[in-house]
Amino acid sequence: MTGSALERRLALRRREVDAELRRIVARGPGWPPRLRAAIRWSLLGPGKRIRPVLALEAASLVGGDRGRPSALAAACALEMIHAYSLVHDDLPAMDDDALRRGRPTTHVRFDEATAILAGDALLTEAFAVLAGGRERLRPVDVTRRLRIVEEVALAAGAGGMVGGQALDLGSEGRARVGAALVARIHRRKTGALIRAAVRAGAIGAGATERELSRLTAYGEALGLAFQIADDVLDETGPTAVTGKRGGGDAAHGKATYPAALGLEGARAAMLRAARDARAAVRPFGDRALVLRALVDRVVDRAS
C-alpha cells in the first residue's frame, strides 16, 4: 500500500471515529458543563487514533461490514480508555507532564480534581458505549459484545494497563534496568490495549479462532514495536514530533528499552517485533495490507 493510500485510509477511519466520539460527548445526559469540557479536551484533541483504527481494520479484515456497529463501539471505547489513561498518567502524582499532543495536559488546562474526574468518567462511559444500551442488538451480537467487554476490561485493569503503570512507577530510579522487566511493564502498559483493540474488532465481526489467534500475535508484536518506538522517540524526537517534552523518561529514571538495551539495541528489537507482526498476518494476503502498512508506519517513526 502506498503512503498516500494509507494516509487516505487512516484519515477516513479517524473521521469515522472522531464523529462518533463527538456524538458520545455531546449527548452525555446530565454531564456538568466543566466536566464535559474537560472530557472533550482530553478525548477530542489531536491524536493518531491507533487503537480505534486497529479495531476497525481487524473487523474489516475478517468480516467486511459484518459486525461494524460492535467494531465501532469497541473503537470508541478503546480511545476513551486510552484518553483516560493519558489524563491520569500526566498528573503530578504520576508522570507530572504539562504537555500532551502539543497542548497543555488536562490538569494544567483545568485543574487536578477535574482531570481526575474526567479520567474516571471516560473509563466508566467507555463501558456504557461497549454495552450498547442505545442499540438494537441481535442475540449473536449481545454475546460478542459481552466477550468484548471482558476483553477490554482485562486489558485495561490491574492485570493489564493499570498493572503496567504500577510496575512502571515501581521501577523508577533503579540503577539497573533489565530487558525482561521492561518487557513485562510494556506488555501490560501499552501492549495489552493494542492487543485488545485488534481482538475486539475481530470478535465483533465474528472471527474464527484461527483468525483470532493470528491477529492476537499481530497485536502483541505491534504493541511491542509501538512501545519501543515511543521509548526511542522520547530520547531522540523533538517536541514538535512527539507532542510532549523530550527526555521525560530519562529524567524520571524510567525503565525503557533504550535504558535496557541502548538506542541501537532498542531499534534492533523494534525491527524484530515489526517483522513478527508482519509475519502474523501474512496468511491473510492482501486483506491485511493496511495492518502491514501500520507496522511500517510505527517503525518509520523511530528509524
What is residue 237's predicted lDDT score, i.e. its pLDDT? 65
Which pTM does this prediction carry?
Answer: 0.90
The DSSP 8-state label assigned to residue 285 in this structure reads G
Distance CA 178, CA 259 (A): 8
Distance CA 26, CA 5 (A): 32
What is residue 31's predicted lDDT score, i.e. its pLDDT? 96
Distance CA 185, CA 207 (A): 29
Look-up of cell digits 508484536: 221
Dihedral of alpha carbons 195, 227, 82, 118, sign? positive
- What does each of the 303 residues of the chain score in pLDDT, given as a tens digit? 677 888 899 999 999 999 999 999 999 889 999 999 999 999 998 888 999 999 999 999 998 777 788 899 999 999 999 999 999 999 999 889 999 888 999 999 999 999 999 999 999 999 999 988 666 777 888 889 999 999 999 999 999 999 999 998 888 777 677 888 898 998 998 999 999 999 999 999 999 999 999 999 999 999 999 999 999 998 886 555 545 555 556 666 778 889 889 999 999 999 999 999 999 999 999 999 999 999 999 888 876
CATH topology of domain 3-302: Farnesyl Diphosphate Synthase (1.10.600)
What is residue 47's predicted lDDT score, i.e. its pLDDT? 87
CB contact at 8 A, 195 and 223: yes
pLDDT in tens, 221-266: 999 999 999 999 988 865 555 455 555 566 667 788 898 899 999 9
Does residue 288 sit in helix, strand or coil?
helix
What is residue 178's predicted lDDT score, i.e. its pLDDT? 84
